[in-house]
Amino acid sequence: MKKLWEYFTTYLYLPRLKDGEVLIQAIQDGIQQLTWAEHFAYAERYDEEQKRYVGLKAGQLTSVILDDHSVIIKPQVAKKQLEKETEKPIPGKEPGEEEPGEREPYEEKPEKPAKPRRFHGSVKLDATRLGRDAGNIGEEVVQHLSALVGAEVEVTLEISAKIPDGAPDHVIRTVTENCNTLRFATYGFEED
């Protein structure tokens, strides 16, 4: 946590935070969300000997400490540890070992439905509020897709303009040069 705070105070391309309390509050809000598994978990420290996180918190209200030991944890790692901790072994019995007569009758379990592997979407943006609308789409859609492990997210901006009186030469020149500089894959003006 302390290292994360140092990043926010050192690197100018990261958002500016008023103080450490803003970071602590953001982490507390994220941890208590029911959707924490899309973001992160929190622990007081990592125990090297036992190879586990101590004070692991996820999906619950907790207090966060900004120090050298506290850590933010990837949700996949936190889930594994939480699953291991919820398994309660029966005394005198090895995990996976069955008692005589304990076996359940065979039941054919239904297959889990396949999860969707692709997403596509198209939306019309207001040209006068392009920054706001594109920002909202980035935060509300693209960010969630990009956060998925292994996801390859591609965003394409398509521009179409109808100019009833025709485009003036200076606009054609400016737009063409800007498209070239911004490495548009395709662009051009047409007479009709």
In a domain, 71, yes or no: yes
Average pLDDT of every residue of the chain: 82
Percent of the chain with pLDDT over 70: 88
In a domain, 38, yes or no: yes
In a domain, 23, yes or no: yes
* Helices vs. strands in the chain: H and E counts, helices first: 6, 4
Look at residue 40 in the predicted model and tell me its pLDDT.
86
User: What mean pLDDT is predicted for residues 13-30?
Assistant: 84
Last residue of a domain, one of 56, 86, 116: 86
CA distances from 26 to 14, 45, 58, 122 (A): 15, 19, 14, 31
Reading the block at residue 192, the tokens are 């009709």
CA distances from 149 to 39, 74, 80, 144 (A): 11, 11, 15, 11
In a domain, 137, yes or no: no
Q: For residue 172, what are the domain limits?
A: 156-192
In a domain, 109, yes or no: no
pLDDT digits (tens, 9 = 90+) for 69-109: 888 888 888 888 888 887 755 455 455 555 555 555 556 66
Would you give the DSSP letter of residue 57? B
Percent of the chain with pLDDT over 90: 10
In a domain, 99, yes or no: no
Last residue of a domain, one of 44, 62, 86: 86
Look at residue 172 in the predicted model and tell me its pLDDT.
93
In a domain, 112, yes or no: no
In a domain, 48, yes or no: yes
Look at residue 90 in the predicted model and tell me its pLDDT.
47
Q: Which residues pair with 46 in a beta bridge?
A: 53
CA distances from 86 to 89, 90, 103 (A): 10, 13, 22
Spatial CB neighbours of 29, under 8 Å, sequence gap ≥ 6 = none
Flag whether pLDDT at 186 surpasses 60.
Answer: yes
Flag whether pLDDT at 162 surpasses 70.
Answer: yes
Nearest-angstrom CA–CA distance, 170 and 162: 17
pTM (2 d.p.): 0.42
Would you give the DSSP letter of residue 96? T
With tokens 């070239």, the residue in question is 180
Last residue of a domain, one of 26, 61, 86: 86
How many structural domains are present in the chain?
A: 2
